[in-house]
Amino acid sequence: MSDASPGSGPGLRTGTLGSADIAFFVVSAAAPLTVMAGVAPIALALGGVGAPAGYLLAGITLAVFAVGFTTMSRHVTSGGAFYAYIARGLGPVAGIGAALLALIGYNGMEIGIYGLLGSATGDTGRALWGLDIPWLPVSLAGLLLIWYCGYRSIDFGAKILAVLLVAETGILVLLAGGVLVQGGADGLGLASFAPEHVLVPGTAAVLAFAFAAFTGFESTVIYRREARDPVRTVPRATYAAVAFLGTFYAFIVWTVIQAFGDDAVVKAATDDPGGLFFAAITTYVGAWAADLMHLLIVTSVLASLLAFHNAINRYTLALSEGGVLPRALGRIHPRHGSPYLAGIAQTALGAVVVLGFGIAGADPYTQLLLWVNTPGMIGLMALMLLAALAVPCYFRRVRHREGVLRTVVAPLVSAVLLAVAILLIATKVHLFTGASDLVNTVLLALVPAVFALGAVLALWLRRHRPEVYANFAAEPGASGSPGGHDDHDTPRGPGGDRPTDPHPRSEACPQPTSS
């Protein structure tokens, strides 16, 4: 089944993905095993035994954000997700700035992870076979593998991610089961959730790491054109992903604390953060499980790469349909129904960056991963903040039947919480990068700089290509509008909205038109 209009050529494969499929993409992008084994020990070392609560708090914040986010998804059906919502709520200038930030942010997240792929493969080779595997050939091979999987149909990728995600979460569940059955080092307890362990200065650092662990959860709406019954499927997938990640992260970190004991886990995490989970699973399950975990970390990274690759391709597709990027990038493969030219462009960009770091002799983890990922992560969180602000602005201007809790209260509460989270990450950015103050300043400055560049592009489009600028905040279904396709058969009003939506009501927020 295709979403192409008559005479427009092949389109994406509509009606392909269910809630579980989309949730697999989202959770895979977060790479739970990699986040737990590679990052959670640092959160424990900095935040102490109250670290599990940090993951729950982050999950609750993003669940509140999802309330307004998914409500707006029923009215704005563009495949552009964040930037489409921001354009509809805050106007085309903010929307195009957000579009460029989204494109750079998602690319930064994925390309940096190719460094992690090389680093993790090297660690696995040394741990299991005593081999010194160079990272650059591994990263380049990963680029080709991910390109091929993205080139194939979306359901092909969903099946791969389902297998990989079950495997990586399964090994963590195996570890947790071993700890629970054996009762941990000192018996099982709930000290991690006691106020005296949660309300401590180190929790700020834990929250910074916790929010980073959810990166990519918002990409559910990017797949609405390929979803079955997107009005129901997309919100279900969003809530399922947030609920799973928040509770799963908190549960796994708590079980590792039980594995070592409240008094010993912080020292263990500080002395050997990279070996904490491997030591725990060796003790409670066996050395064979530690070997398997090494292998599954590599597949966890591959799953994350594929999920980000598919999300980037669909953002690129939406921007090309909107006229901001070259139209050629919006071509759909006639057999696989994939935006294959967008995938080629993304892979080529990744190859250039990875080769550049390799030729410069950079470290794949501390430089390629951390330096490229960090502005991407902060950029995506900034997009969430803007999207949260866009929700009440959008609903103030249109007639609708949504409640005030969904359209005003939840979005504004989440905006405040996200602003605090971004501030926490910015002030703790040295914990992510391990870089100098100069490097950290540059990495942080990239986010507002990219958004500003997008705003300048918007002003240029308003002057030189007014039809692209005017259509940017238009609802899909209008010619040349972002996303280029409407998931619903409901007749639309003059502005592209459903009949219950048009009719201006307030000038309190920026107008999403060129007038």
- pLDDT score of 470: 84
- pLDDT score of 145: 94
User: In this structure, is residue 90 part of a structural domain?
Assistant: yes
- pLDDT score of 474: 63
C-alpha–C-alpha distance, residues 122 and 133, integer Å: 5
User: In this structure, is residue 87 part of a structural domain?
Assistant: yes
With H, G, I as helix, E, B as strand and everything else as coil, classify residue 16: coil
User: In this structure, is residue 332 part of a structural domain?
Assistant: no
CA 216, 350, 385: angle at the middle one, nearest 5? 30
10 Å CB burial of residue 63 (0-12, 13-18, 19+) is middle
Q: Which of 32, 121, 12, 5 is closest to 342 using CA atoms?
A: 12
- pLDDT score of 2: 46
User: In this structure, is residue 510 part of a structural domain?
Assistant: no
Q: Name residues of the chain where pLDDT drops below 50.
A: 1-2, 4-8, 476-508, 512-515
Q: Which two tokens stand for residue 378?
A: 């902060």
Sign of CA dihedral 18, 19, 24, 26: positive
- pLDDT score of 506: 42
Q: How far is CA 239 from CA 20, 52, 67, 244, 258, in A?
A: 11, 20, 9, 8, 28
10 Å CB burial of residue 364 (0-12, 13-18, 19+) is buried
H or E element at residue 428? none
User: In this structure, is residue 417 part of a structural domain?
Assistant: no
User: In this structure, is residue 499 part of a structural domain?
Assistant: no
Helices (H), 130-229: 135-151, 154-182, 195-198, 203-212
Contact 222, 315 (CB under 8 A): yes
Number of domains in the chain: 1
Amino acid 321 reads: E
Residue 228: domain span: 19-309+363-389+423-467
Q: What is the CATH number of the domain that holds 437?
A: 1.20.1740.10
Can you give the length of the chain in residues?
515
Sign of CA dihedral 243, 245, 248, 249: negative
Q: Which two tokens stand for residue 356?
A: 């550049």
C-alpha–C-alpha distance, residues 69 and 82, integer Å: 9
User: In this structure, is residue 248 part of a structural domain?
Assistant: yes
- pLDDT score of 27: 87
- pLDDT score of 13: 64
Task: State the number of CA atoms in the 13 A half-sphere of 10 facing the CB.
Answer: 14
pLDDT tens, position by position, 358-372: 999 999 998 999 899
Q: Which of 408, 406, 415, 350 is closest to 381 using CA atoms?
A: 415
pLDDT tens, position by position, 439-492: 999 999 999 999 999 999 999 999 999 988 887 766 544 433 444 444 333 333
Task: Write down the number of H helices and E strands in the chain.
Answer: 21, 0
Q: What is the pTM of this model?
A: 0.84
H or E element at residue 285? none
User: In this structure, is residue 35 part of a structural domain?
Assistant: yes
Query: Count of CB atoms within 10 A of residue 7's CB?
Result: 5
C-alpha Rg value of the chain to the nearest Å: 22
- pLDDT score of 334: 87
